Structure 1
Amino acid sequence: MGRVRSGTVGRRFTILYASGFLGSGSVLLALTYLMSGGRVTGVAPEQPPAVRPGLAAAEQQIRDLQRQLSEVHAQQNHRLLVGSLIALAVMAGVSLLLGRALAGRVLRPLRLITAATRRISAENLHQRLAVVGPVDEVKELADTVDGLLERLEASFVAQRRFVGNASHELRTPLATMRASLDVAVAKPEPAAQTVALAGRLRRELDRVDHLLDGFLVLARAQHGALAGRSPVSLGELAREALTVRAADIAAKKLTVEDEAHLDAWTRGSPALLSRMVENMVDNAIVHNEESGWIRIATEHDDTGTRLVVETGGRVLDQAGVDGLTQPFVRLGADRTGPEGSSGLGLSIVAAIVAAHGGHLTLLARPEGGLRVGAALPTAAGSQGAAR
């Protein structure tokens, strides 16, 4: 019999069944007491003015017997009342136990359905509850959930098929347009307008390509299976991202506080985790102020491994910060981003963190600026391992 948690339907069923048992027992005991509660009483006749001594003694003996019988009956009634109260108390305990047992029995199929549904995720949508038994409300519920899972599986399959085909179908025309621009510019003595137009088109094509790449990574993180999991050092990924963006950091005169440690390990897809760290660093650079600062730190303990990226700046609204994990959501006009910004940076970070079983936190710092923290499961036994 499963445990019936407080505040649940099981608790209400337990109280309902216990109340029914206890009420029935109370009525039964009350009827028993009333039916056995008649007292034997006697009224002594008035003594006539003149009676014989022998008759008076007999009447006195009868009165004594009636009094004794009344006392015995009163004691029996008292014992019966005490016994009824004890039986009622015992019945209250038994009613709770029986109510709990019946509630557990009634709710057992629902608990099995709940547990099976929780085990089904995006990676095993092919599983079904497949509840057997008579066609009742519980089986109808299970069949409805199976139908929902079937529709979800079809939707996920279509999504993954799109992700697999989009990269080829959409990148091909982009490559064709790039080649056409190169051919036009490569002609002898191209017109100045042609060169200028080709430059603008290349920049726009770069933005489209960057946006397309962001969409594909986001879709892969949200709906794709994470193959090739291996230990990854978040500290090493952070230092690599800082090295790649060193020119942009210098151009904005940013001060970097590097507190990333190489022993902060997690396990997952190296490509996706690298993209996650790159996006966190890019967000800190792009949406920072001139001569600002960036702090990057890693932490690890028994609960997990964390990568934290902090920036200074103006005071932000926490309600607006909470929505930054949604695609194309930015804070104000100053966060529209430069050319090449797709508006998917933190959305991709959130999707990658969730795909690895982690949690992303965005905090508007009271002093101004933003704190982005990615908490991921620690890779057991990977400290000191070579990547």
Structure 2
Amino acid sequence: MRLSIRTRLTALYGGLFLLAGLALLVINYLLVNSSLPEAAGFVATRPVVDLTQSAGSAVQISPALPARPAPSDTITAVSVVSDYRSTTLSTLLVGSAIALLVAAALAVFFGWIMASRTLRPLHTITSTARKLEAGRLDRRINLDGPGDELKELADTFDGMLDRLGEAFDSQKRFVANASHELRTPLAVQRTLIEVSLADPQAGPELRKLGEHLLLTNERSERMIEGLLVLARSDRGLASRSPVRLDQVVTSVVEATAGQAAEAGVTVETRLPARTVAGDPVLLERLVTNLVVNAITYNTRGGWVHVEVGGDPALTVRNSGPVVPAEAAAGLFEPFRRLDAERTGDARNAGLGLSIVASVARAHDGEAHARPGTRGGLVVSVRLPPHG
């Protein structure tokens, strides 16, 4: 069992105090023991007073001519002094032990409090680190207090977050700008290919090549569009508005009805009213990616079930090939596909589920995937409610 640093510090404080108390008790006991006289020596160095008492007469004291004590009187005096010495040392030992135990308990209690106060900045640093994500590096510790080692650690951590935030923002701006700049040449290429295919003198080989180039061009456009959406969602939401998630799903299902019919897939829905706070364009893209992914990677005659609920807010199930459990979570990574057959697939750019996860995080939610009981995939998205 692992002990927390707080517990270990408390045990260390209490243990050190107990050792110091034991050492003090031993020293005190030795000092008192050496200061108390030995019984035999004490009696031998004291004159014995002869107490003679007659009826009606006063006690006669003769200090100048002390009487020689009787042997029985000497033994009695030695016994009394010895008992007094033993009782004094025993009382001192018992009292000191009780006081030491009480003080040790208080030391453990105050050590626990002091350890908590000492470790409080570390808890703040840990809590801040847990809340950090690639798209949310705006949190800082801003630790107040004296300029000690913990303050230096917190300031160093804040400086590291500043540098990371600048690096991530620069990377996102580069992705967005590069994707935007690439859209124009791709659009020009598509136009030139379509013009070439429209030429009546184009031969079969040219047409075949043109169709292949069109498919490649379309895939590149989808990838760039996905990168733009991904960069936008990674930057977070500037504002939020109420969005009827059930209405968004209804419009997406209607828009993808032709694709589902062409693939031979039946789409079923269960859509109670559900309002979330977020960006309607990004949420529509999230639902579209999930429904299109469920239709695309399915089997003819299969099904897709889309359900809106409370928690999770959205669940999309589909039939299809068996998905290994260890591979389900990796599908949210960019350009990650399930097997080699999807690597060269021009139907998608490999960013669909990555955009889903990014949009969910931008809305303070999360997305999870798990294999279906009879194949296919189950993707659930948690979104905070509006208000």
Q: TM-score, normalised by structure 1?
A: 0.82
CA distance in 1, matches of 2:349, 2:325: 22
Paired with 1:44 and 1:341, the residues of 2 have a C-alpha distance of 105
* Secondary structure, counterpart of 1:315 in structure 2: coil
Structure 1 residues 178 and 158: CA distance shift in structure 2, 3 A: same
1:367 and 1:164 map into 2 onto residues whose CA distance is 40
Q: Is the contact between residue 298 and residue 321 of structure 2 (CA under 8 Å) also seen in structure 1?
A: no
> Which residue number in structure 2 is paired with residue 233 of structure 1?
244
Q: Which residue of 1 aligns with 2:60?
A: none
From 226, 238, 241, the counterpart of 1:214: 226
Quote how far apart the aligned CAs of 1:58 are: 3.9
* Correspondence for 1:10: 6
Cα separation, 1, equivalents of 2:271 and 2:342:
27
- Counterpart pick for 2:192 among 155, 170, 180: 180
- 5+ residue gaps, structure 1, are 1-5, 46-53, 381-387
Give the share of equivalent positions with the same residue, in percent: 37
Q: Displacement, 1:89?
A: 0.9
Q: C-alpha separation between the residues in 2 aligned to 1:373 and 1:177?
A: 38
Please give the secondary structure, in 1, of the residue aligned with 2:378.
strand
Q: For residues 151 and 176 of structure 2, what CA distance do their matches in structure 1 show?
A: 37
User: Which amino acid in the other structure matches residue 87 of structure 1?
Assistant: A
* Structure 1 residues 136-147: aligned runs within 5 Å: 137-147=149-159
Separation in 2 of the partners of 1:214 and 1:44?
102
Deviations 1:184-240 (A, max 9, x none): 4555x4423454444333222111111111111122222x13123112222222222
Instruction: Compute the displacement of 1:288 (Å).
Output: 0.7
Q: How far did residue 149 of structure 1 move?
A: 2.0
How far did residue 12 of structure 1 move?
Answer: 2.2
Task: State the distance in 2 between where 1:292 and 1:337 align.
Answer: 23
What are the Cα deviations for residues 36-76 of structure 1, in whole angstroms up to 9, with x where unaligned? Answer: 2357333999xxxxxxxx97974323322332232233222
Cα separation, 2, equivalents of 1:78 and 1:229 = 77
Go from structure 1 to structure 2 and tell me whether the alpha carbon gap of 1:312 and 1:337 turns closer, same or farther (over 3 Å shift). farther
Normalising by structure 2, what TM-score? 0.82
Shift of 1:275: 0.7
Q: Distance in 2 between matches of 1:133 and 1:257?
A: 62
Q: Indicate yes or no: 2:320 matched with 1:313.
A: yes
The secondary structure found in structure 1 opposite 2:360 is: helix
2:262 corresponds to 1:251:
yes
Matched residue type, 2:294:
A
Q: Distance in 1 between matches of 2:259 and 2:69?
A: 126
Change in CA separation of 1:274 and 1:125 when aligned onto 2, cut-off 3 Å: same
Question: Counterpart of 1:94?
Answer: 106
Name the amino acid aligned to 1:22.
L
Question: Residue 124 of structure 1: CA displacement?
Answer: 5.8
Aligned to 2:75: 63
Aligned partners of 1:220, 1:116: CA distance in 2, in Å? 24
71-80 or 286-295, which deviates more:
71-80
Q: Distance in 2 between matches of 1:151 and 1:179?
A: 43
Output the CA distance in 2 between the equivalents of 1:171 and 1:93.
72
Q: Does 1:295 find its partner at 2:308? A: no
C-alpha distance in structure 2 between counterparts of 1:126 and 1:76, whole Å: 65
Moved more, 23-32 or 312-321: 312-321
1:204 alignment counterpart = 216
1:81 corresponding residue in structure 2: 93
Matches within 5 A, 1:15-34: 15-34=11-30
Amino acid at match of 2:285: R
* Distance in 2, Cα, partners of 1:191 & 1:119: 59
Deviation, 1:126, is 8.4
Would the aligned equivalents of 1:235 and 1:298 in 2 still touch at CA under 8 Å?
yes
Q: What secondary structure, in the 3-state scheme, does the structure 2 residue paired with 1:341 have?
A: coil
Greater CA drift, 114-123 or 62-71: 114-123
Does residue 270 (structure 1) correspond to residue 268 (structure 2)? The answer is: no
Structure 2 portions without partners, runs of 5+: 44-51, 53-66
- Kindly indicate whether the alpha-carbon contact (under 8 Å) linking 2:335 and 2:349 is maintained by their aligned counterparts in 1: yes
Partner of 1:125 in structure 2?
Answer: 138
Choose which of 343, 353, 367 in structure 2 pairs with 1:360. Answer: 367
SS across alignment from 1:36: helix
Distance in 2 between residues matched to 1:107 and 1:258, nearest whole Å: 51
**Residue-pair matches, total:** 360
- Seen in structure 2, the aligned counterparts of structure 1 residues 285 and 115 have a Cα distance that, compared at 3 Å, is closer
SS in 1 for 2:381: strand
Aligned partners of 2:125 and 2:141 also within 8 Å: no
**Residues 337 and 119 from structure 1, CA distance in 2 versus in 1: closer, same or farther, beyond 3 angstroms?**
closer
- 1:44/1:63 contact within 8 Å kept: no
What is the letter of the counterpart of residue 15 of structure 2? S
Find the counterpart in structure 2 of residue 385 from structure 1.
none
Which protein shows a greater Rg?
A: 2
Cα 1:113/1:335, change in 2 over 3 Å: closer
